[in-house]
Chain A
C-alpha cells in the first residue's frame, strides 16, 4: 500500500508540535542571547530563500513575476493585508502576462 506523503506529514506534524510544546513547557528559563538572535533571523532568511527563486529564478515569465512581486511588496508595506497583497500581485501578474 502506498501511503504517499502521509508518513512525511505525520513527521512534520510531530516536529511542529515539538517546537510548540518545548518553549511552553520550559517555564521561565532563559535562552542564550546568541541563540535568540539566530532564531530571530531564521524566518527572515527562510522566507527570503523561499521567495527569491520563485520570483527571479527562471527567465520564463520573468517580467510578469517581477512586476507582481514589486506591486505586491508595495501593497504589503502600505496596507499589511495578505489577501490584498496576493490579490493585487496576481492581478498585476495576469495583466502583465496578457499585455506582453
Chain B
C-alpha cells in the first residue's frame, strides 16, 4: 500500500506552530540585523537562516565570527549547540512509522526545538503524525526565513544599529533561551558554573574558546553531579 503525504496533517502541524511566530519573527529580524551589524553580507545572513536554520547556533556563529574566532571553534560550538537534535530524533523515532511521508531525510532538515516540542506533545496525546511534524517544521521555516529577509531589508535602512545598543539582544536572547531549561537545582548550578567560567575567562580568551570550554566543563560537571546525586 502506498502511503501519501497527508495534507490535512501538514496543515494541522503548520497551524499548531502559528502562535510561536510571535516569538520567531522578532528573533529572526533581530538575528538578521545583528548578522549584518557583525559584518555578514545579505546573502550570508539569508543562507544561515535557510540552510543552518537553527537560531541559537546562528547567533553563536555570528557572535563568534564577529569576535574573530577560528572556523574550528565556530563549527565545534555549532555541533555542541545542535547535538540535542540527536536526542529529539531518537525520541520522535519511538512514535514515527517505519516509512514516513515525507522521508526521514526531509523531515530531519526542518527539525527544531519548537517543532519537536509541538510534535512530541501531539504524539503523547495521540494526535501526532509524520505529516504534522512536517507541517510544524514548514511553519517555522517559512516564518523564520521570511523574517530574516525583512530584518535584512529593514536593517540596511537603520543609520547605525550598533549605537542603538542592539548588541545587547545577543545575551538577552541566550538568557531567554536558557531560563525555560532551568528546571532543577542542578540545572541552575550548571548554568552558574558555565556562566561564571565564561565571564571570568572572556577577558583573556576569544569567544569561541570561552564558550567551548565553559560548555564542556559545565555539561561534564552536571553529568558527574547528576550521577552522584542519584547514587546518594
Of residues 152 through 176 on chain B, the ones whose CB sits less than 8 Å from some CB of chain A are 165-176
Q: Is A50 an interface residue (CB 8 A)?
A: yes
User: Which chain B residues lie closer than 8 Å to A23 at the CB level?
Assistant: 85-93
User: Which chain B residues lie closer than 8 Å to A90 at the CB level?
Assistant: 165-166, 168-169, 172
Q: How near does chain A come to B231, taking the closest CB pair, in angstroms?
A: 12
Across the interface, B77 reaches (CB within 8 A) one of A9, A30, A46, A48, namely: A46
Interface contact B90-A53, CB-CB below 8 Å: no
Of residues 84 through 100 on chain A, the ones whose CB sits less than 8 Å from some CB of chain B are 85-87, 89-90, 93-94, 97
User: Which chain A residues lie closer than 8 Å to B165 at the CB level?
Assistant: 61, 64, 90, 93-94, 97
Given A13-B51, A21-B104, A23-B85, decide whether A57 and B203 contact each other with a Cβ distance below 8 A: yes
Cα A57 to Cα B211 with chains together (Å): 13
Judged by DSSP, the binding face of A is: helix
Judged by DSSP, the binding face of B is: helix
Given A5-B44, A19-B79, A53-B210, decide whether A26 and B167 contact each other with a Cβ distance below 8 A: no
Cα A50 to Cα B199 with chains together (Å): 9
Q: What are the 6 A-B residue pairs with the smallest beta carbon separation, nearest first?
A: A23-B89, A45-B218, A54-B171, A24-B89, A41-B222, A49-B214
